[in-house]
Amino acid sequence: MNITARPCRMRDVIASDSYYSIPDYQRPYEWTAENVEDFWTDLTKAFEHKEDGYFLDKLILVNRGDGKDFEVVDGRQRLTTTMILLAVLRDFFFEHDLPERADEIQNTCIKRGKYRLQVRPEERASFEDRILKSVGILKDVAKSNLPETFKMAVTLLNQFIEEKSEELKSKNAEIDIVIYLDEFYHFLLDEVVLIVMTTDSVSSAFTIFEAINTRGKDLETKDLLKNLLIRRIEEEVTRHNAEYPTAQKSFDDEKRRFLDTWLEIGKVKVPTDELLRHHRIAVVGDRSRKDLFREISEDIKDANATTEAFMDNWKRSVDAFVELKAGTWHGEALNGSAQKALLLLWNIGHGYWIPVLISAWRDGIDREKAQTLIEGLERFCGLSFVAGHTSRGVLSTLLASVRDLNNKQSVENVLARIEAFLRKNRVFRDATENLRSDVYHASWGKYALAKYEYTLLDDSIIREIPFSRTVQLEHILPQTMTDPAWTALFTETEHDELVNTLGNVTLLAGSMSEGRKSKNQSASNKPFADKVKIYRGETNKDGLTAFRMTQEVAEYESWTPNVIRERTEIVLSTLVGAWDVTAEDMDSQPEIVTSDSVRPVDTEILTSDDIRFRLEETLGRESDLTPRLIVFLKVLLSEGRSFTQEELRANLYDNGIGTDLGQAGRYLSNISQFVTNVNNAHLRAIIAYDLEHDRPGARKDNYRIRNEYRDLVRDALAKL
């Protein structure tokens, strides 16, 4: 691997015998207006401050054989912007009667026999014709067929020059804009420095790229992975084809097939990193514990997978995702019930159910079983959502479901695991209790009403209910009773009790555009009789509301406290029936799980992997409590025994926690409250303690880390 790195003046880069191309596997020119402004500002400030050797950036290049033609692996956005700036300066000098300077820029920096820079193939023709071709062609660039990012850069740089001209005039500067830009041009070529790193292979270029760009810079996983896979293609080809011409042709062929697949995946209207995350969970059956790119690259290495094999495998997961979005399963349409369940799942608040279905699709589960699984997942995720169980609370069960499917377990076994979670964690009871409370302000309110709406529709009617501002929760009894028609029917107490309940809310849709009110905005605080006319479309161009539940509301003759209470029971019983919740489910008691000496109710099922992940997450938080908790755990690990409160307080103080023993004791109390908090099931699983009695408020003592978790805690601390 031959690598050189040296500082180069801009003149050595763009006014020498070198030529550059942006390979087709790189991203297009995508700098924003803010990026261009920062670029201009940094350069002009450095120029005005007369900085010597101003460092602009780095270039990572691949020498394509003759020492003159280079492929740009990193630095392409800044190099492209520099060429655009030179074209802008060229045309400025031409328009201000300095044709010699304009020609110098054109014939030295932009084109010397051939164009200095070749952008990606799909951008190349318009970039060359409308920016690089000749002096004086930028005047009509706004009307050209250039991509918008190029137009934006040209327009902004011209605007900055005009602003600089006005600034010089307002300050009565000794130089005008022509002299300023002429001196700036020489500064750009002779004082601006780039670090140019050159290698003779794509593989080594991307090694440099990763080493530099993963330190303190948040590149997207897709960018790093794309570079890794291209590098692997070259390595794979080189192993089989030693001769340069043969190797290069094979590399280009394999790269083209790779890029075709990558482009096809990129057309899915979901962030690529998200698709990668779903794929990895579906294959591995576990959530990422660290950087996603590192984990995927390690997976590829451990499996000794070729780029083609990885892409084929990932493409299978993407195909599954696309089918789920379309409501199909291996080319067959899912039945109406399963499609409605999917539409609800997409808006459930998390996407942990997606890898379960991707895994089932990859395993070839037939459509009938898939429909059963989809409806079971909606029941599980929906009930957990309404019950207030967080995404973490259901994550371990869903991950276990992926592993079950990957191990060829039946759909029946997967659903049995899900059912066990619901029964064990009082989900049925919590969900129904929440449905009797404030629905309007709940994060799951729109989901619950969408679920109810789907129960009113025949399975042949599949209509997506968008969880956006165009679909809103409508108070039938308004939040503020300004009209006498309402105060005649409701006391203030009844209003406050009923206004946000399940029986008093419905869904309304309508335009949110300027100057046109939605049905919700039109209905507002009006009397019930007027609201009914709006629901029916009698006073609104939108016509009859599309929501069956709101059509039902419009059939009521009046809206009273008893009507709201009755409707609450109707909607609630309908939802309970749709989720197939039985009286036995409602009476199920949560299982008791606890410490060695006390058995509090645990609200989550946690595997060792879950505990490890959540502990690492806890120890990585930015909080005043975190360093104190770390010392607390280190003390408990120091010996294989229990520690009394007095011992812990002294050890905390000796390790710098607290200015005196009294403050160390107060910090210990904070740690104890945090460790035993109902939301920290992972810490309660790790740490045991004794209680002096079993009544609330009992003193805790003799803290220890359970033996089965000592190595887990030690590993988590070692990663800090």
pLDDT at position 604: 45
For the chain, give the percent of residues with pLDDT over 90.
38
The full length of the chain comes to 720
Residue 67 or 6, more confident:
6
Which candidate, 161, 10, 21, 164, places its Cα nearest to that of 88?
A: 161
Domain boundaries, the chain: 3-203, 262-426, 445-578, 608-718
Interval 57-69: pLDDT, tens: 888 888 877 778 8
Residue 448 or 425, more confident:
448
Please report the DSSP string for 366-404 in residue order: -HHHHHHHHHHHHHHHHHHHHHT--HHHHHHHHHHHHHH
CA dist 190 and 11 (Å) reads 6
Q: What is the CA radius of gyration of the chain?
A: 33
pLDDT at position 466: 76
Q: Kindly state the tokens that stand for 519.
A: 């049905």
Average confidence (pLDDT) over 22-29: 78
Mean pLDDT of the chain: 83
Ramachandran area for residue 514 (φ above 0: left; ψ -120 to 50: alpha; else beta)? beta
Interval 484-524: pLDDT, tens: 999 999 999 999 999 999 999 998 875 433 334 444 444 56
Interval 172-191: pLDDT, tens: 877 889 999 999 999 999 99
Tell me which of 285-294, 582-591, 689-698 is least confident: 582-591
Residue 347 or 517, more confident:
347
Beta bridge partners of residue 112, listed in sequence order: 114
CA dist 127 and 114 (Å) reads 14
CA dist 193 and 75 (Å) reads 13
CATH classification for the domain delimited by 608-718, as one of 3.30.1660, 1.10.10, 1.10.20, 3.30.2310: 1.10.10
Beta bridge partners of residue 333, listed in sequence order: 328
Tell me the longest C-alpha to C-alpha distance in the chain: 94
State the pTM of this model: 0.60
Listed in sequence order, the DSSP H helices in 286-366 are 292-303, 307-326, 336-345, 354-362
Tell me which of 114-128, 215-229, 468-482, 550-564 is least confident: 215-229
pLDDT at position 206: 64
pLDDT at position 344: 94
Per-residue pLDDT band at 420 (split at 50, 70, 90): confident
Per-residue pLDDT band at 391 (split at 50, 70, 90): low
CA dist 176 and 691 (Å) reads 82
pLDDT at position 514: 33
Residue with tokens 């059509």: 551
Tell me which of 141-150, 471-480, 583-592, 624-633 is least confident: 583-592
Produce one character per residue of 567-596: b if its CB has 16 or more CB atoms within 10 Å, e if not: bbeebbeebbebbebeeebeebeeeebebe
